[in-house]
């Protein structure tokens, strides 16, 4: 009677289990690098978008300052914002009687590479290859990440 029960029982043998787990390990080992690559691509896309957004706001500020719409230009800034916070907080329009402010950014984008709001800055007086900011104005921004892109260029040079 007990032999009859064993013949009707279904299940996997130890060999079948080992083969199934081996196949699962191989498939998951192939999926992990693909997932990492996808995450890196998304962070690179987010970095490009954030840099484009900040640089467009800096350019708009400069254009308005050159058109004398922001009032008196502070000495040494050459019409560029003094800091990135100025783009978020806004600037009073020079010809507005009611003190109307114009904002160039809703909020400062987060650096996806360093996961912080601390961007590297360059002023017009700084050396173009310098990683330190002189503090006179904000002419350009870059990420402070030391990582490199797939083509070998450092993210800080984007």
Instruction: Find the mean pLDDT for residues 56-78.
Output: 86
Distance CA 42, CA 45 (A): 5
Cα angle, residue 48 at apex, residues 44 and 54 outer, rounded to 5°: 140
Q: Is the pLDDT of residue 151 over 90?
A: no
In terms of pLDDT, which residue wins out, 43 or 125? 43
Cross-strand pairs, 141:
121
Q: Which of 137, 128, 156, 157 is nearest to 77 (CA)?
A: 137
Domain coordinates in residue numbering, the chain = 13-145
Least confident of 1-10, 14-23, 91-100, 116-125: 1-10
pTM of the model: 0.77
Q: Is the pLDDT of residue 95 over 70?
A: yes
């Amino acid at each position: 009677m007990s032999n009859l029960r064993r013949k009707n029982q279904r299940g996997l043998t130890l060999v079948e289990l080992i083969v199934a787990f081996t196949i699962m390990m191989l498939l998951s080992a192939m999926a992990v690098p693909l997932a990492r690559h996808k995450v890196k691509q998304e962070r690179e896309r987010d970095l490009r978008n954030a840099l484009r957004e900040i640089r467009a706001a800096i350019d708009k500020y400069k254009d308005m300052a050159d058109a004398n719409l922001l009032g008196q230009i502070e000495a040494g800034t050459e019409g560029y914002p003094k800091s990135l916070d100025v783009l978020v907080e806004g600037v009073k329009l020079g010809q507005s009687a009611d003190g109307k402010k114009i904002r160039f950014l809703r909020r400062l984008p987060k650096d996806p590479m360093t996961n912080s709001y601390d961007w590297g800055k360059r002023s017009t007086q700084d050396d173009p290859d310098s990683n330190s900011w002189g503090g006179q104005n904000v002419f350009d921004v870059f990420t402070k990440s030391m990582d490199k892109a797939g083509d070998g260029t450092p993210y800080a040079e984007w």
